Structure 1
Amino acid sequence: MNPFFSKSFTGNWIRHFAPRHKVVRLNFIRPMEFVRKKFSPYYFNVGKNLTNGIHYTIDSNESDFKGKVLLIHDVHQYFHEQPKQVHKRLKIKKVPQYKGYLSRLDGYKDIDGYLLENLSKKGRYKVRDGEKKLAKQHRIDFKVFTGPVPKNEYDIVMSALYGILSKRWDDLGKDNDILRDRDYYYDLVYDMMLSNKASLNVLYADDTIIAVSLCFLSSKVLYFAITSFDPDYSKYSLGHVIIGKIMKWCIDNGISYFDYSKGDNDYKNRWATDSYLFENHILYDKGSVSAFLIGNYLYYFYRFKQELRDKKINVVYSKLKYRLKSIGLMHKN
């Protein structure tokens, strides 16, 4: 099952972001749940844009969508199967959002086989060189935490993750939503680890945590969700190092897909076998005038938002938020 439909995920998200709102299940679409905030003219999926990709099925014999508008964030194009048939009054509009990447791992006995088949000689050298240099100059260790974990160990790793994220994003001069929602992630990850739906993957140098990756897990997919590296160790290409360590764990544990999720950067391009798109889906009753108008408003709103993102306006916005936040802190002091 997709981990973003698990009770540990949906329960934590509702508790932190929609505690006073009614959660709705609809018969025509499974398995997701929806929330409608007070005075809002539409429903949106539980989890909103904090999942790493979801998918759904449509029952064309059900009609409880009538009079409604649904917004579904981050539909995973690679894993989502197109409905073969939908009710004649149901309209589905799709807006491409972020690009995503994944690696198909079935058929590989070890990571060396994967590297040999999917990376050039130069690429293999690049991903191995950082780890060799790191191991030569430091005593390195790698641990995967999943299942029941002592709370004190969990606190140490999460504190390190937040510390590294804060240091890295301060250096970039950008605002970071993960740090803003740290209480949510603290509760979420622990609960999901208990049910083996999440893992914390930790890289140590001389017993110091230098990289942490939060991953979500299904029986066949690892979602590479949040990762940060200590910028003091940037010369070792820690992105390649930790991906290699996690991929080895995936192959050893029968995981079929390593999903790098949203975002476009060098290490994802180098490692991935496939790319895909995340999409926002707007579903509405085209027989209802109000649903038709609201559904089309949402469609064009998210198209426009994506056009701004394509022009990197979101990067400017993130830097502006960080600066305003810094000014606010200075005034408080």
Structure 2
Amino acid sequence: MKNNPFTSPTFVTTWLKHFTSFKEQYSFSFIDDLSFIKNKKLPVFINIGKNWTKAMSYSISPDPESVPKNKVLLIYDIPNYVIPNKLTAGGPIKTHKVRQYEGFLANLSGFKTLDEYMQDRFDSKSRYNFRKNKKKLTQCFHINESIYFGSITKDEYDAVFKSFHSLLKKTFLEKQVSTNILEKWDYYYELVYPMILEKKASLYVLRNEDEPICIALNFHSEDISFLFFSVYDSDYSKFGIGYMSVMKCIEWCIENNFKGYDFSKGYFHYKKRWSNVIYNFDYHILYDSKSITASFLAFFMSNYFRWKQILREKNLNKAFNKVLFHLKNKEKIDDKYPGFQFGPKTELSDSHQFNKLNFKSCEYAFLRKPIYEFIYKTGFHIKDIKVTESQGSFWVIGQDKMQKIMINN
């Protein structure tokens, strides 16, 4: 992999600053492209970035004099479509390759447009629905899209990242799962800005007027773009704006001659729908086979990761994240994000006393999702909608149609 963003000086320096109490790096002349940190007690060296990257790669030098004696090297997250050159047969360095997560890739080779790729992946009904939802979104709201790659002002960056953080926090609260993304937000904030300027990262932003409603962070090697993480405002979920993010990023990749858009590890339904290659991530454990200590450590580590993957395949990690979330979050989620249902389309009589609401205010944020669902069903533009409260009930009204909103307590 040429120009891996996760081995760039900016990435390495920032990661060391936020994840280690010591800054010493180790490199070995027999393995190119990677640097390592050392375990405090054991002769184990771990690639900088650990499992906080989306893809690692390396190449092996044939020089037998340069191999590290009595040592173990652990390299996380190597997509098996990246194939390092083989070690010399009969040499002292051996490798355990341990399968871990599934990964998902949109191989864009041979496709000249987004439409060509979508025709290859989806039937006509699905393509029609994607187009319909995008058209409806632009008809109902003031929508614009941006991709920041190579340049962004610091003020604009700060504004986008503030919205990014808010959307992620809302999403994980709704899903009720714990995430280390928010816990390390200062790291991402410091990392991404310089990498955008270096063209090693980009931000896709979908806005309703000036408000970001969908954001995707991508990192870039010379010919592969990696989706790092993305989020959308669930209030707009009827419009399928998460798919619009994928469509725009794939289109951008094709236009900029990237050979692939890598959705990376972790199963989500949308990844499987949009990818045409499913691959595995491997952990590579390189060790000095002539050393008893190194051989034992490598054997123990490989079995540890194999058992960890078995538990992951049984979804125990998801259950753990649920428990962790509830330990960290004491607030009642149902109160913060109440459910709703639509009531009968009753005409309001003159006896009702109307109080027109500013549903864009934080006070009435809980009304946005049902309001946007009403807009989706009717096709009204947001500027033509008014929301009222009368006798403790809410109504959303547009031109010739109206709907009562009942909030579930």
Cα distance in 1 for partners of 2:42, 2:241 equals 44
- Greater relative contact order (Cα < 8 A, sep 6+): 1
CA contact (8 A) 2:17 2:23 kept: no
Match in the other structure for 2:51: 49
Counterparts of 2:83 and 2:122, CA distance in 1 = 28
Distance 1:122 1:269 in 2: 18
Indicate how the Cα distance of structure 1 residues 244 and 289 shifts in structure 2: closer, same or farther if over 3 A, else same.
same
Aligned partner (choices 248, 255, 260) of residue 257 of structure 1: 260
Amino acid at match of 2:249: I
User: 1:89-109 CA deviation, whole Å, 9 max, x = no partner?
Assistant: 111011111111111223322
The structure that has the greater radius of gyration is 2
Give the secondary-structure state (helix, strand or coil) at the position aligned to 2:86: coil
Between the aligned partners of 2:113 and 2:331, the Cα distance in structure 1 is 51
User: Does residue 300 of the first structure (1) align with residue 303 of the second (2)?
Assistant: yes
Higher mean C-alpha deviation, range 57-66 or range 310-319: 57-66
Q: Secondary structure at the match of 1:23?
A: coil
Deviates more, 1:147-156 or 1:162-171: 147-156
Q: Which residue of the other structure, out of 280, 285, 288, is the alignment partner of 1:282?
A: 285
Instruction: Look up the SS of the partner of 1:250 in the other structure.
Output: helix
Deviation at 1:125, TM superposition (A): 2.8
C-alpha change, 1:155 and 1:87, in structure 2 (3 Å) is farther
Indicate the residue corresponding to 1:33 in structure 2. 35
**Counterpart position of 1:7:** 9
Aligned to 2:154: 151
Using the size of structure 2 for normalisation, the TM-score is 0.77
- 259-268 vs 57-66, which moves further: 57-66
Asked whether the 8 Å contact 1:43–1:69 carries over to 2, the reply is yes
Q: TM-score, normalising length from structure 1?
A: 0.94
- Change beyond 3 A, Cα 1:106–1:22: same
Q: 1:50, CA displacement in angstroms?
A: 0.6
Unaligned segments of structure 2, at least 5 residues: 333-409
- Given that 2:15 and 2:48 are in contact with CA atoms closer than 8 Å, whether structure 1 keeps it comes out as yes
User: Do 1:219 and 1:255's aligned partners in 2 also have CA atoms closer than 8 Å?
Assistant: yes
Q: Percent identity?
A: 36
Report if the CA contact (8 A) 1:34-1:46 is conserved. yes
Match of residue 175, structure 2, among 166, 172, 179: 172
Deviation at 1:86, TM superposition (A): 5.1
Task: Tell me how far apart the structure 2 counterparts of residues 81 and 14 of structure 1 sit (CA, whole Å).
Answer: 25
**C-alpha displacement at 1:16, in angstroms?**
1.1
- Residues 59 and 86, structure 1, Cα contact 8 Å, conserved in 2: no
1:220-239 mapped onto 2 (5 Å cutoff): 220-239=223-242
Q: Which runs of 4+ in 1 moved over 4 A?
A: none
| Stretch of structure 1 that moved more, 37-46 or 156-165 | 37-46
Over aligned residues, Cα RMSD in angstroms? 1.7
2:248 aligns with: 245
Choose which of 195, 198, 221 in structure 2 pairs with 1:218: 221
Contact 1:123-1:270 at 8 Å conserved across structures = no
Cα distance between partner residues in 2 of 1:90 and 1:162 = 44
Alignment correspondent of 1:160: 163
Q: Which deviations, in whole Å up to 9, do the C-alpha atoms of 1:48-83 show, x marking residues without a partner?
A: 001101111112323432210111110111123352
Residue 61 of structure 1 corresponds to which residue in structure 2? 63
1:91–1:15 Cα change, 3 Å? same
Question: Can you list the C-alpha shifts for 1:264-308, whole angstroms capped at 9, x where unaligned?
Answer: 222211111111111111111111011011111100111111111
Separation in 2, partners of 1:3, 1:137? 38
SS in 2 for 1:98: strand
Q: Which residue of 2 aligns with 1:88?
A: 91
Conserved in 1, the CA contact under 8 Å of 2:163 and 2:212? Answer: yes
Q: How many equivalent pairs are there?
A: 329
Give the equivalent residue in structure 2 for 1:187: 190
- Once residues 126 and 261 of structure 1 are traced to their aligned partners in structure 2, the CA distance between those partners, rounded to angstroms, is 26
Change (3 A) 1:148 1:180: same
Q: 2:67·2:93 contact (CA, 8 Å) conserved in 1?
A: no
Q: Using the alignment, how far apart are the partners of 2:268 and 2:85 within structure 1?
A: 28
- Gaps (5+ residues) in structure 1? none
CA contact (8 A) 1:67 1:284 kept: yes
